[in-house]
């Protein structure tokens, strides 16, 4: 006897960070819009998130995409993004994987040399372009929703590190951005646990002191993560995203990279048509980014992110009625 229907997932990774795509096995989801459905899932079906994201079926870095019915007529598919601690409005590494997934599952008409997939996310419609050859999908690139710098030069007084200056930028989700050197740490020599602890202190102080307001309302108005950076002025920069209760992104973070490019554009450090490579300092995985368009005079831009996703498996998850372990747990 099972506690719930068998939940079927497809497993992928993009630039080292996992993606678990929830295909089926969940009850009907009510709501007119994707943000309505996000609220419904939070209030009524959060046990499914815990079941497939957290231990013993998931892990601290597990990330998910929940397949939904789109409500935008131009969308080919719709997905909600989730992780071990909650939900978010956008995820670039997931979008790159979902582009391949949609092509391979015939949600769009296959075309060579490139197939366009329109994916509805809680932040809006994201266009993905998947390289296709000989019946096989490959690398993908996506065009972000309009992205922008939100707050510049905010001083936070951290209990453990003193005063630091952070910027907040939006790339489908909001991020606090600052050099790792601001907290006197180094990607080369500092233990990851020390970097995580610093990021969580920045995140808490930023959440307490910087109001986050998005036009789409409360479901989109939150600080998702912290981006620690190192940029020596060449064509490649290091970036590490820390989110949730202290998860380090294994990829360079697609929406974080988008936010960082929007921030660099606002500061005059990159122009329309210019590109840059962002590398995760731990896994060495990378994304390429380019400003493709300035949307308006408010420095909102469209950013193109390019990367590669791969399949790693497929799973069927259950919970037996005699299993007295909670739907999920975290050891943080």
Which amino acids are annotated catalytic? 91
Q: How far apart are CA 134 and CA 198, in angstroms?
A: 47
Quick one: tokens of 97? 């994987």
75 to each of 125, 224, 256, 309, how far by Cα in Å?
A: 7, 25, 23, 21
Q: How many residues does the chain have?
A: 332
Q: Which of 284, 177, 267, 174 is nearest to 223 (CA)?
A: 174
Quick one: tokens of 258? 């988008």
Which parts of 3-113 fold into alpha helices (H)?
Answer: 34-44, 46-53, 92-104
Determine the 3-state secondary structure of 47 from DSSP. helix
Q: How far apart are CA 19 and CA 182, in angstroms?
A: 31
CA atoms within 13 A on the CB side of 249: 31
Buried b (16+ CB within 10 A) or exposed e, 307-319: bbbeeeeeeebeb
3-state helix, strand, coil in the chain (%, to 5): 20, 40, 40
């Amino acid at each position: 006897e099972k506690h719930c229907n068998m939940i079927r997932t497809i497993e992928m990774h993009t630039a080292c960070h996992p993606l678990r795509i929830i295909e089926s096995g969940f009850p009907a989801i009510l709501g007119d819009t994707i943000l309505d459905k996000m609220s419904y899932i939070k209030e009524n079906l959060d046990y499914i998130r815990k079941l497939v994201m957290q231990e013993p079926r998931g892990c601290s870095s597990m990330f998910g995409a929940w397949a939904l019915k789109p409500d935008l007529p131009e969308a080919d598919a719709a997905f909600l993004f989730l992780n071990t601690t909650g939900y978010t409005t956008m995820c670039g590494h997931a979008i790159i994987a979902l582009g391949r997934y949609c092509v391979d599952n015939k949600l769009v008409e296959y075309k060579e040399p490139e197939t366009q997939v329109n994916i509805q996310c809680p932040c809006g419609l994201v266009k993905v372009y998947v390289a296709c050859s000989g019946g096989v999908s490959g690398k993908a690139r996506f065009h972000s929703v309009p992205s922008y710098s939100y707050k510049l030069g905010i001083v936070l007084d951290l209990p453990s590190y003193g005063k630091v200056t952070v910027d907040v930028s939006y790339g489908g989700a909001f991020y606090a951005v600052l050099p790792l050197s601001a907290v006197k740490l180094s990607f080369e020599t500092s233990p990851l646990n020390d970097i995580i602890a610093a990021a969580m202190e920045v995140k808490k102080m930023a959440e307490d002191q910087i109001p986050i307001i998005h036009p789409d309302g409360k479901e989109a108005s939150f600080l998702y993560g912290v981006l620690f950076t190192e940029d020596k002025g060449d064509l490649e920069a290091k970036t590490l995203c820390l989110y949730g209760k202290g998860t380090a992104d294994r990829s360079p973070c697609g929406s974080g990279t988008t936010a960082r490019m929007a921030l660099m554009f606002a500061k005059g450090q990159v122009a329309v048509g210019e590109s840059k490579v962002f590398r995760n300092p731990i896994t060495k995985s990378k994304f390429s980014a380019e400003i493709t368009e300035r949307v308006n005079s408010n420095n909102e831009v469209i950013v193109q992110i390019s990367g590669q996703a791969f399949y790693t498996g497929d799973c069927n998850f259950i919970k037996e009625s005699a299993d007295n372990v909670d739907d999920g747990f975290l050891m943080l």
